[in-house]
Structure 1
């Protein structure tokens, strides 16, 4: 059994996110929420956690005062990113909030090292000691010896490897030593940017498109002292699956097996049918289109699905309207919540 790593995060003792910050941006800024969504089956008014969409695959997951930033991309309409040899993409939208306007963040969850998920502005601006959870490939890119200013706190996860984020703040809601302590377990899940076959073989040689992870994020409580190894097992109160930039490949079928039929409460699915070099010359698709997104819903069977990553760049071939049509035809529409940039989904973590 693979041992679980541990990372202690104290929301009262945060590091600054940016190089030029003296202290975290705790009270000077809050996320500008345009609209709040809740469980489409009905709200009990007791939500205590949320996901906020900034744009493309950039979101903020918040629970118990802890904030996780996913795939940070803060470029604006008209800006360009490099996606591979001779391939660029232009951003069509603005983020809901700018990088320097973010409230205090505790760690970053980075699915892969690609400029539309970790742009140059972000890479140049971030505090080098800030905690980043990512793939082994991205860790090598961020910490490699050739970098003049490498990142110092990068934690890599392979498929089905996990790290426990211990929320160390002591307050009356979870006082009493190492009793019922809130924790977040992050597990890497399979993903493939390039379809199997000759293209995958060529990419393995050229390394044009980077390896990518999905993520399973479990919010819950630990009943054991986090002493290392496999200590600190989690009593999961809410489970989020983030697909990452992947196609619908056979490796995804390992996820329900690994879960052993445990339910997924929420799925964030990366859509758009990203095409290289462009939708006008679609030689290869590297993220799921509407049909593949629907197949993933059937495979994972989440309680709620939120589509993201579908219209922010000019390399998307499959618009959100395609997904909406497929979902409606298949009878899944009551389990899908559509969030625009600047909107938030609030939910309840069981056991809190």
Structure 2
């Protein structure tokens, strides 16, 4: 597997002849984007690659379509050229039904051709905020990707989520090779201490339960709403058990990185 972290949640994943793209965000730095409850965020850094520098994309795994730090204007423009888009059920409706919509626990099969194996993509639970926040924060899913007939998960993407019981239960039940863990500890001034994604400390706890071969933190830099951010992740990893630290790999932005 080769990972190219483009920025934020956006990762180009090359695995067994497939090119997958997660949560496309390709707008330049400097924009401000509105969320619910009049909250907003500013994009501080641009993508490490532009849309026209990407290879052909076989499938986009879109954890949710309604927040610009997961799907921005430039990212939205490339969806039509991707072979398949997999997202939430509500997101599929908003995208005009052109995407495959999955509820947690449901799966879709991406059919391979020739020597390229089928991929089975299963939606995993995610909650983008505290209890009862779903009507405001909207639906989000993660993705467990299996290659061919394998029962083990080649790639798990948490999506934007807090650490809560269903996420822990999934982590305890999966055998995962590589995990993309969304971190950042998102907060907004309007809602005070309430967090909408995992902090570095939460990520350490989740990785300790999951025990993947490799865990790659993403979506903790480049936006103003990351209250925990790189510093919080660094602090949490410094205090983490050695068994967790040795599983974590930071991927340099824009550099295709084999995850051996």
Contact kept, 8 Å, 2:14 with 2:20, in 1: the verdict is: yes
Cα distance in 1, alignment partners of residues 82 and 176 from structure 2: 32
Q: Does 1:324 align with 2:239?
A: no
Higher relative contact order (CA 8 A, sep 6+): 1
Aligned to 2:74: 121
Instruction: Select the residue among 296, 304, 308 that pairs with 2:218.
Output: 308
Output the CA distance in 2 between the equivalents of 1:294 and 1:101: 33
Asked if 1:240 is matched to 2:155, the reply is yes
Calculate the TM-score normalised by the size of structure 2. Answer: 0.90
Provide Cα deviations, 1:273-326, integer angstroms capped at 9, x if missing partner: 011247xx7342100011111111112111111111111100011122322232
- Aligned counterparts of 2:34 and 2:78: Cα–Cα separation in 1: 18
Q: Does 1:187 align with 2:122?
A: yes
- For the pair shown, the structure with the greater C-alpha radius of gyration is 1
1:67: how far off? Answer: 0.6
Aligned to 2:95: 142
RMSD: 2.1
Q: Deviations over 1:43-89 (max 9, x none)?
A: xxxxxx21110000001111233211110011121112222231221
Aligned-partner Cα distance in 1 for 2:168–2:58: 31
The superposition leaves residues 210-233 of structure 1 with CA deviations (integer Å, 9 ceiling, x where unpaired) of 1111111123x3xxxxxxxxxxxx
| Residue 272 (structure 1) aligned to one of 184, 193, 208 | 184
Question: In structure 2, what is the Cα distance between the partners aligned to 1:246 and 1:162?
Answer: 20
Q: Secondary structure at the match of 1:69?
A: strand
| Deviations, residues 167-203 of structure 1 (Å, cap 9, x unaligned) | 21x2xxx3xxxxxx6122111101101211xxx1xx4
Q: 1:87 to 1:265 in 2, by over 3 A?
A: same
Are the equivalent residues in 2 in contact too, given 1:129–1:153 (CA < 8 A)?
no
Residue equivalent to 2:207: 297
Structure 2 unmatched ranges of 5 or more: none
CA–CA distance in structure 2, aligned partners of residues 110 and 289 of structure 1: 21
Deviation at 1:257, TM superposition (A): 5.4
1: CA distance, partners of 2:81 / 2:56? 16
Secondary structure of residue in 2 paired with 1:311: coil
Q: Identify which range, 240-249 or 281-290, moves more after superposition.
A: 281-290
Is the CA contact 1:166–1:182 (under 8 Å) kept in the aligned structure 2? yes
1:60 aligns with 2:12: yes
Kindly indicate whether the alpha-carbon contact (under 8 Å) linking 1:133 and 1:156 is maintained by their aligned counterparts in 2. Answer: yes
CA 1:236 to 1:344, structure 2 compared with 1: closer, same or farther past 3 Å? farther
Question: Do the aligned residues in 1 keep the contact of 2:90 with 2:139 (CA within 8 Å)?
Answer: yes
| Aligned equivalent of 1:208 | 136
- Could you tell me how far 1:155 is from its partner in structure 2? 0.4
More displaced 10-residue stretch of structure 1: 310-319 or 334-343: 334-343
* Contact 1:67-1:104 within 8 A present in 2 as well: yes
- Cα distance in 1 for partners of 2:155, 2:86 equals 16
Residue 156 in 1 paired to residue 101 in 2? yes
Contact (CA 8 Å) 1:79, 1:91: kept in 2 or not?
Answer: yes
DSSP 3-state at the match of 2:33: strand
Contact 1:82–1:89, Cα closer than 8 Å, also in 2: yes
Query: What is the number of residues matched between the two proteins?
Result: 257
Partner SS state of residue 182, structure 1: coil
SS across alignment from 2:202: helix
After superposition, where does 1:215-254 map in structure 2 within 5 Å?
215-219=143-147, 221=148, 234-236=149-151, 239-254=154-169
More helix by share: 2
Against the structure 1 CA distance between its residues 83 and 277, is the aligned structure 2 distance closer, same or farther, given a 3 Å change threshold? farther
The answer as to whether partners of 1:128 and 1:153 remain within 8 angstroms in 2 is no
1:91-106 matches, cutoff 5 A? 91-106=43-58
Contact persistence 1:81–1:119 (CA under 8 A): no
